[in-house]
Amino acid sequence: MVPEILERAHAAGARTAFMTLGRLPREVAPYFLERVREALPNMAGKIENGLREMRDGALNDVRFGRRMGGAGARWSMVERLFELHTKRLGMNQEEVTDFPSRPPRGQLDLGF
């Protein structure tokens, strides 16, 4: 699914992409899982287990630096897949070199 999403984004003009593992706070998780079961009944268990596998058995990780990413072999595979296809499509290649200049030091003139 990652390659298809990246290809469609690139075809629509995207030149950069990033990834994050969706957060499921305690209040949201039951509703999300219910909707997944309704929309994809044959895949719901696999989706939930995959999320738990990438979150060390939980559906959410509130720790700073860990909440937007995953862990484990499956997450590493997703990262490699994402990197491979962004590179193949020429995405994330441009370096930002046009930084705004810093304002001059000292007191600013109020124009009076």
Render pLDDT for 2-23 as a digit per residue (tens, 0 to 9).
899 999 999 999 999 999 888 8
What is the number of domains present in the chain?
2
Report which residue type is found at 101. S
108 lies in some domain: no
Query: Which domain does 77 fall in, by range?
Result: 1-17+69-92
Residue 47 lies in a domain: yes
pLDDT for position 70: 87
- Residues 28, 62 within the same domain: yes
* pTM listed for this prediction: 0.69
Q: Does residue 105 sit within a domain?
A: no
Tell me the mean pLDDT in the region 50-79.
Answer: 86
Are 43 and 28 contained in the same domain? yes
Return d(Cα 26, Cα 29) in angstroms, integer.
Answer: 6
Give the mean pLDDT of 74-84: 93
- In a domain, residue 112? The reply is no
Average of per-residue pLDDT across 66-86: 90
Q: What is the pLDDT at residue 96?
A: 65
